[in-house]
Amino acid sequence: MHNERSGFLTFMLTVGLAFLYIPMVLLVIYSFNYSKLVPVWGGWSTRWYKVLFESPEVWEAVRLSLQIAFINATFATMLGALAGLAMVRFGKFRGRTLFGGMLVAPLVMPEVITGLSLLIFFISLKELIGWPLERGFTTITIAHITFSLAYVAVIVQARLTGMGVSLEEAAADLGAKPFKVISSITLPRLAPGLLSGWLLAFCLSLDDLVIASFVTGPGSTTLPILIFSRIRLGLRPDINALATIIIIFVAILVAIAAYIMLRQQRRELIDQQMAARGDV
Amino acid sequence: MSPIKKEEIQTKDFRYYVTLCLDKLQSKWKTIIIFIPFAWLLLFFLTPFFIVAKISLAELVITSPPFSKMIDWVDGSVITIRLVFDNFIYIFDDPLYARTYLNSVKIALISTFLALLIGYPIAYAIVRSKPVTKQLLLFAIILPFWTSFLLRVYAWMGLLADQGTINNILIYLGVTDTPIRLLYTEFAVYIGIVYTYLPFMILPLYANMEKLDGSLNEAAADLGSGPINTFFRITLPLSLPGIIAGSLLVFIPATGEYVIPDLLGGGNVQMIGRQLYNEFARNIDWPVASAVAIVLLLLLVLPMAIYQHYQAKAAEVK
Amino acid sequence: MTDTNEFSKDKPLLEIRGVSKKFGDFIAVNNVDLDIYQGELFCLLGGSGCGKTTLLRMLAGFEKPSSGQILIDGQDMSEVPPYKRPTNMMFQNYALFPHMTVEKNIAFGLEQDGISKAEISDKIDSILKLVELQDYKKRRPQQLSGGQRQRVALARALVKQPKLLLLDEPLSALDKKLREQTQFELINIQDKVGVTFVVVTHDQEEAMTLSTRIAVMDRGRFIQTGTPTEIYEYPRDRFVADFIGSANILDGKVVSNLEGTIEVSTYLGKFAFKSNSNISEGSDLFVGLRPEKISISKAASKSKNITGYIDDIGYFGDYSIYKVRLDEGKIIDVTAQNQKRPKNAKDRLTYEDKVNLNWDNSSAMLLLK
């Protein structure tokens, strides 16, 4: 499958990539548009960035979203790692089908359903035990952890399947108890997967609109909720500015990740050469 | 054997029990590991669904929460269970709902098909690329997914609006005098869904095609089959699992989409996700909203089961 | 066939009693019994799928027997998990921890036992000296060659001085030259350290070189157990004779069975065997004759009158295999060392040469069906 690419395929590839990126490029360009009417060009300006930075609701929303995203990512990674470990390494156990189903469902289910069910759950819970009194930070975080952990579990399962079980067996053979095996062998080897899982959960939380809308309460406005309420009414250049900032932020993260990966590959090459030489 | 002091025995006992406890923990390690995420999911994922199901069978009552209790203590001794199927009857009776469900399925199907048409060649092109390029291309495909979903839909608003970029270009080129209605149409919703869900189509396709044996194509060519014939008789059938996985990954969430029909479709495109939100937020008719959700879920149970079946099969093959 | 095991002292170190392992309907290990004694280098030999690796994994504790018992030093291992067993395993793919240096890999097992840092350091130094890798302490596995990784895997397993060292195809990943060298190194190390080895292999040459005793396995059962010489010279049946080395297999019929001597007739004549089997007259069995036990020459033989024509020759440099076609069309394999360089055509054996075969009847093997 690795021969050359035909002309048609290259054409489709270019068209596809253009399709994916041109809207975002335009978004960035128009953030520098002087005119208030977004698509009408009025000259270069950075005034919308100023407007953005001087808007307290935006800062508040950013702060809330980042907090939620951080806590969500951390807990989701821990729970998802355990879940992924169980699915791959534990063979058949009681309740495995149900467990596996609960790990897949959040990935495909429409968010309105998840959001609705969680909101109703929180309200019923309040009726029953008096908690949670107010919906907002806590409920959003719980909701996010619930679906994020499914994504992390997918990543962890993929990496574990590729990793093979012989190292863990070797550790057990050498006397390491099960929890020691996990902490000394499994987790360190899983580390890159856990990192990508954490980043993914972080971004998913930062970006979630529907579920957060359902389970939030008065006074807790996340960034997506803020953006949505503003763009429903039409195009706004300060949103373009916000979009540009986010895009640049993500691009930098990705560049760092790519750089790390490249360095890792080069390191492996050097190691192989050293091994082949065989001397000290 | 020297006589053992009483204090010695006691300290031994304490340490003995602690070690015994830790040992028991170690031997039950699997249960502990499964239990933690399992408990979380049972509590925060499964239980909400049961509650929704329960509410869908209840009546609308002007209280908070606005639904009647399913189990009532009558005289403290006899339990009556009041199941009210009225909500479901209401949904099935009212043609608005049927239309909305069908519309959602239709739009999701068409979008999935379009995503497949665009995504398949892209995935195939990546598979055929050099290893270094492959990594870069995969990154390029995934990168938009990491930026905000909301903002990417917003980008299309800017493109499709009456005073938007596309219309500006068309008018400038003289193709038309007045702006063409692009935004707030079904067409815009198609573009929106395809645009945001494209990576979900490409990646499973890529994963599947990457594993296909290239020598099969060579064998077919050797036996006299031209490229087009080889594609339809060999490549396409073998990539079917990837096609199914990608399609389900797009179709299922697209059916319940809320944001895209709202921003790009305006009031003109009715999809069930918006309907559900309306019932819930505007009409505060929770029982009906729950019933709508349950019906949607039932609609999607079959595709979701198919998806899980294919995932399990793929894992087995490994 | 007597058990000439020089190691059988009092009690066996490892006792396998009636052990079976089933995977669903498939029986991987079928009711096997075995005793292994302290100081042995024992080989489980068999083709793929014969159950040898499954048995090894049961000894290590990674699989639970479906039935039967495993006792190490008299202690029942049924409820003992791998991290509590006095066994250590050297894995086929070495299973070295890639995120740890050689030093840390070897230290790992010792750390689980709560040994002091100073003592660990000493043990590491001495074991690395034993496998000749002292200068590689700080390297990671990815920076080592295949042979070096194998030695680290061995060191890591040995440093804990287990009662039993289990080796899963230890030499399979090495190339031929390295394999020969490592075979002798393994024996030396085992001698020095005195640990009991149980090796799983499919390579019969390896088994013959390394072992003090071999168990030949097929389809979950032990076919024959004994020293390399016993197995090679006195195989129990056709399977073992074919599996170890090569053999000419002749169909035979029992002519008589009197007072511990069985006479068998084959198309190459009558053979007499000392055996206490009570196989009846007229029964069918096989007689095996190994190719190296047959001499081949152009000169007429004094005792036998078996002649044939050379049908095919396999030249291996140090020896040659001759496929000799007898009168009835049957082919007999004969191997001969190329001791002398042939000076002229008369000396050389070539295709279609008429040759005479000779052997000592006592080197024939009685093979049950």
Element (H, E) at A60: helix A56-89
With 60 as the cut, is the pLDDT of residue B4 above it? no
- Report percent pLDDT > 70 for chain B: 85
The backbone torsions φ and ψ at residue C124, rounded to the nearest 5 degrees and listed phi first, read: -60, -45
In this complex, which of A4, A109, A243 lies closest to B151 when CB atoms are compared? A243
Strands C41-45 vs C213-218: parallel, antiparallel or unpaired: parallel
Query: Rounded to a whole number, what is the distance in Å from the CA of A276 to chain B's nearest CA?
Result: 24
What confidence tens digit (pLDDT) does each residue in C273-311 have? Answer: 888 788 888 888 999 999 999 998 888 777 777 888 999
- How many other CB atoms are there within 10 angstroms of residue B130's CB atom? 12
Of A3-12, A180-189, B209-218, which has the strongest mean pLDDT? A180-189
Q: Residues spanned by CATH 1.10.3720.10 within chain B?
A: 86-317
The closest CB to that of B296, out of A37, A113, A232, belongs to A113
pLDDT at A55 over 90: no
Confidence (pLDDT) at A1: 44
pLDDT at B63 over 60: no
**C347 CA to chain A: closest CA distance, Å?**
47
CA B207 from chain center: how many Å?
A: 19
State chain B's mean pLDDT as an integer: 80
B86-317: CATH superfamily: MetI-like (1.10.3720.10)
Higher pLDDT, A279 or B232: B232
Nearest to A172 among C82, C96, C136 (CB): C82
**Which residues of chain A does B126 touch, with a Cβ-Cβ cutoff of 8 Å?**
13
pLDDT surpassing 60 at residue A195: yes
Contact C171, C206 (CB under 8 A): yes
pLDDT at residue B75 above 60? Answer: no
The full set of domains in chain C, from first to last, is: 14-86+162-238 (3.40.50.300), 292-358 (2.40.50.140)
Buried b (16+ CB within 10 A) or exposed e, C115-141: eeeeebeebbeebbebbebeebeebbb
Q: Given an 8 Å threshold on Cβ–Cβ distance, is A179 in contact with B29?
A: yes
CA C217 from centroid of its chain's CA atoms: 10
DSSP symbol at B2: P
The larger pLDDT score, comparing residue A154 to residue A279, is at: A154
- Interface touch A177/C83, C-beta < 8 Å: yes
Structure tokens at C53: 């690796």
Contacts of B257 in chain A (CB under 8 A): 110
- Give the 3-state secondary structure of residue A269: helix
Pick the residue with more confidence: A277 or B318? A277
If contacts are CB pairs under 8 Å, which of residues 83-142 in chain A contact chain B? 83, 85-86, 90, 93, 95, 99-113, 116-118, 120-121, 123-124, 127, 142
pLDDT confidence of residue C8: 66
Give the pLDDT band of residue A148 (cuts 50, 70, 90). Answer: very high
Does position A280 have pLDDT exceeding 80, yes or no? no
Burial class (CB in 10 A: 0-12, 13-18, 19+), B133: middle
Q: Hey, which residues 89-118 in chain C have their CB within 8 Å of chain A?
A: 89, 91, 93, 95-99, 108-109, 112-113
Assess whether pLDDT exceeds 60 at residue A5: yes
The pair of three-digit structure tokens given for residue C155, joined into one six-digit string: 């060191």
Residue-level pLDDT at A4: 60
Distance of CA B164 to the CA centre of its chain: 31
- List the single residue in C84, C87, C95 with the smallest CB-CB distance to A166: C95
Residue B91 has pLDDT above 80, yes or no: no
pLDDT at B22: 78
For B306-316, what is the mean pLDDT?
72
Domains of chain A: 15-246 (1.10.3720.10)
Report which residue type is found at A9: L
Q: Which of A5, A101, A116 sits opposite B280 (nearest CB)?
A: A116
Interface touch A185/C97, C-beta < 8 Å: yes
**Run of H or E including C331:** strand C331-337
Please give the Cα distance from B217 to B234 (Å, whole number): 7
Mean pLDDT of B224-232: 80
Share of chain B above pLDDT 90, in %: 19
B117-148 pLDDT, tens digit per residue, is: 999 999 998 988 888 788 888 888 888 887 88
Q: What is the pLDDT along chain C (369 residues), one digit of tens a residue?
A: 344 456 666 789 999 999 999 998 899 999 999 999 999 999 999 998 899 999 999 999 989 999 999 999 999 998 888 888 899 999 988 888 888 899 999 998 888 888 899 999 999 999 999 999 999 999 999 899 988 999 999 999 999 899 999 999 999 888 888 888 889 899 999 988 889 999 999 999 899 999 999 999 999 999 999 999 999 999 998 999 989 989 999 999 999 888 888 999 988 888 888 887 888 888 889 999 999 999 988 887 777 778 889 999 999 988 999 999 998 788 999 999 988 887 777 778 888 888 888 888 888 998 987
- Rounded Cα gap, residues C59 and C42, in angstroms: 13
- Is residue C82 within 8 Å of A173, Cβ to Cβ? yes
**Total length of chain B:** 318
ipTM exceeding the 0.90 mark: no
Choose, out of C63, C83, C111, C151, the residue to mutate when testing the contact with A (most A CBs < 10 Å): C83
Kindly tell me the sign of the dihedral angle through the C-alpha atoms of B37, B40, B41, B42: positive
Asked if C60 reaches chain A (Cβ–Cβ under 8 Å), the answer is yes
Q: Please list every residue in chain A whose beta carbon sits closer than 8 Å to the beta carbon of residue C140.
A: 271
Phi and psi at A9, nearest 5°, equal: -65, -40
Q: Which of A171-185, A201-215, B219-233, C33-47 has the lowest mean pLDDT?
A: B219-233
φ/ψ of residue C249, rounded to 5 = -105, 120
Nearest Cβ partner of B164 from A39, A110, A231?
A39
Q: Which residues of chain A make contact with B121, given a CB cutoff of 8 A?
A: 8-9, 12-13, 16
Residues 137-196 of A with CB under 8 A from C: 166-167, 169-178, 180-181, 184-185, 188-189
Closest A-chain CA to C161: A174
Q: Cβ(C245)–Cβ(C257) under 8 Å? A: no
